[in-house]
Chain A
Amino acid sequence: MTHLTMDQLVALRDAVSEPGSAESQAHVAACAACAAELDRLHQRVARLRALPTLRPPRDRFAEVGARVRQDRRQRHIRRAGIGALALAASLLLLVIGRDVMAPPAANASGQLTAVMAESATLEQALRQIRESGQVTDAYTTRAATTLEDRIAELDRELESAQLRAASGTDAGLLPLWRERVGLMDALVDVHLTRASNVGL
């Protein structure tokens, strides 16, 4: 008598009505060895289910919480960045309009455009890093948090400066945008350095 294969026994345990399962059931009913084998399979699975629950050796909620806070800050920066860019774009139109009337200021507005474009490129780079879904270690989280806090603060300053500039006051926009680019650049570095360290 040919005994059932493990494939057939496993299918029988699952009560899967596949072609041949009726024959397998008939075989088990008639063959004590295969009936015993099926019984052992049931017992093995029961023992697997009864294995003790393995618990994490240390608490990882601090890392989860830090990552969640970092994600929120990044979302805030993205929102603030988009708002700031929109406001800056309208301001730029105003500045360019004035440049036509006053050519010596053209150099300053060109620099502002370039710095803002650089900021947008860095935003894009950061977005790609975030989307890569890398696991964040404590060092990266701390360094990134410090930078993101400063960027958020700077975005608030930029918002006020842009409102002042819109009303015709010299608001010192260029140095603020330059500082933002510097901080964004550092933030990208922090993430990339961590990624290269762990080979991601």
Chain B
Amino acid sequence: MTKALAVDSYLLGDAESVVARVRVGDPAALEILYRAYEAPVFNLARRICRTVEDAEDVLQETFFEVYRSIGQYRGDGPLWGWVRRVASSKALMRLRRNKYRETDELFDEVHAVRREDTPLRMDLEAALERLPATSRAVVWLHDVEGYTHEEIAGMMDRTPSFSKSQLSRAHAKLRIWLGEEVRS
């Protein structure tokens, strides 16, 4: 069983009938869908976006898009996989809209200056939060959500090489910030 299928059966027992009801505009069915997936959608959005407010907007936009585009879901894959794809696109769109990429450089510079003040070991949550937005998004989508570099490249409108390089740069930073032993 894939992770997405497992999430479907765990969070939403009868995905097929709920989808059918959302398709005909049943608001109660949309709420069932929302209650089932609000936590994983918000979690994904919050791990990618810089602020709670942005993540909340992504949550709202994702479910509105689910309602509008449910006709495009063919049922040939897990529902969570489809909802997660919508959420990922919305979160990445939010990153682009807020022009985080422009501030990433500044973010890196600030960290470079502060590096000496950084505690030897950081909490993983804090280290993840500290990554530039694009790198953090790639780490989360690849390492946690399980997307391939090709899929991430498609969603980000970049190349797979860009995704790979963001991932390795992010891990190099995490290794230092987490105080992990460096090879001699």
* Contacts from A to B (Cβ < 8 Å): 3, 5-7, 9-11, 33-34, 36-37, 40-41, 44-45, 47-49, 51, 53-58, 60-61, 63-65, 67-69, 71-72, 133, 135
Beta-carbon contact of A53 and B40 below 8 Å: yes
Q: Are B171 and A10 in contact (CB under 8 A)?
A: yes
Beta-carbon contact of B43 and A54 below 8 Å: yes
Taking CB atoms, residues of chain B closer than 8 Å to A5 are 168
Contact with A along B53-69 (1 / 0, CB 8 A): 00111011101100110
Instruction: From B144, B168, B172, B183, give the contact of A48 (CB < 8 A).
Output: B144
The complex places the Cα of A47 from the Cα of B169 at a distance, in Å, of 18
| Total B residues in contact with A, Cβ cutoff 8 Å | 45
Give B61's nearest chain A residue, CB to CB. Answer: A135
A37 CB contact (under 8 Å) in B34, B125, B183: B183
Inter-chain CA distance A65–B60, complex, in Å, is: 10
- B60 touching A63 by the CB < 8 A rule? yes
* B46 in contact with A54 (CB, 8 Å): yes
Whether the Cβ atoms of A34 and B171 lie closer than 8 Å is no
| A44 and B178 contacting across the interface, CB-CB below 8 Å | yes
The reply on B4 being an interface residue by CB < 8 A is: no
- Chain A residue contacts of B175, Cβ below 8 A: 6, 40, 44
Give chain B's interface secondary structure class: helix
A60 touches B178 (CB 8 A): no
Structural contact, A67 and B60, CB atoms closer than 8 A: yes
Verify A51–B125 contact, CB threshold 8 A: yes
Query: Would you call B57 and A135 a contact (CB within 8 A)?
Result: yes
The A-contacting residues of B in range 28-62, CB under 8 angstroms, are: 30-31, 34-35, 38-40, 42-43, 46-47, 52, 55-57, 59-61
- Chain B residues closer than 8 Å to A7, beta-carbon distance: 164-165, 168
Q: Pick the residue among A40, A44, A49, A56 that contacts B59 (CB under 8 A).
A: A56
Question: Do the beta carbons of A11 and B27 come within 8 Å of each other?
Answer: no
Q: A7-B165, A54-B47 are in contact. Are A48 and B67 (CB under 8 A)?
A: no
Q: In the complex the two chains form, is B57's CB within 8 Å of A68's CB?
A: no
Q: Which residues of B contact A67 (CB under 8 A)?
A: 60, 64
Question: Does B155 count as interface, using CB distance less than 8 angstroms?
Answer: no
Q: Does B128 contact A (CB under 8 A)?
A: yes
Do B68 and A71 touch across chains, with their CB atoms under 8 A apart? yes
- Given the complex of chains A and B, what is the CA–CA distance between A51 and B174 in angstroms? 15
